[in-house]
Amino acid sequence: MAKKFFKKLTVLNDFIKQHGNDLRHKILLLSVKKLMASKPALRDISTIAIIMPTKGIGDGIIFSGLYKYFSTLGKKVFIVCSERTAFFYAKSPYVSGVVTYSDDISRKTIKQITAERIDLAIDMYGDDLRTPQRIRTLYALMPEYSVAFNGNGISRGCFSHTIDYKKLDTHLTDRANALFDFLGSPKESINYTLPLSGSNDDAALNFLQHVKGKKICFSPFASNFNRSLSAGMATEIAQKLAEAGTSVILMGSAEQLREINVENSKVVKLPEMTFFDACAVIKACDLLLSVDTAFVHVGNALNKPSVTLYNMEMWDDFTINIVFGPNYADATKIISESYLVRDINTEEIVSSVTTRLAAME
The half-sphere exposure of 360 on its side-chain side, counting CA atoms within 13 A, is 18
Which amino acid is it at 30?
L
Q: Where are the alpha helices (DSSP H) in the chain?
A: 2-19, 22-36, 57-62, 64-72, 86-90, 107-111, 131-141, 153-158, 175-183, 198-208, 231-243, 254-257, 275-284, 293-302, 320-323, 346-359
d(CA 215, CA 238): 12
Cβ atoms of residues 349 and 355 within 8 Å: no
Per-residue pLDDT 10s for the chain (361 aa) are 555 544 555 655 566 666 666 788 899 899 999 999 999 999 999 999 999 999 999 999 999 999 999 999 999 999 999 999 999 999 999 999 999 999 999 999 999 888 889 999 999 998 776 899 999 999 999 999 999 999 888 899 999 999 999 998 899 999 999 999 999 988 888 899 999 999 999 999 999 999 999 999 999 999 899 999 999 999 999 999 999 999 999 999 999 999 999 989 999 999 999 999 999 999 999 999 999 999 999 999 999 999 999 999 988 888 999 999 999 999 999 999 999 999 999 999 999 999 999 998 7
Are the beta carbons of 277 and 244 closer than 8 angstroms? Answer: no
Question: Given this model, what pLDDT does residue 345 score?
Answer: 96
Q: Within 10 Å of residue 255's Cβ, how many Cβ atoms?
A: 8
| Whole-number Å distance between alpha carbons of 319 and 316 | 8
Residue type, 194: L
> What pLDDT score was predicted for residue 18?
60
How many other C-beta atoms are found inside a 10 Å radius of the C-beta of residue 45? 20
Cβ–Cβ contacts within 10 Å for residue 96, how many?
Answer: 18
Label residue 41 exposed, middle or buried (CB < 10 Å: 0-12, 13-18, 19+). exposed
Looking at residue 41, what DSSP letter applies? P
Q: What integer pLDDT is reported at residue 315 of this predicted model?
A: 83
Q: What is the pLDDT of residue 6?
A: 46
Output the pLDDT for position 348: 97
Give me the pLDDT at residue 13, please.
59
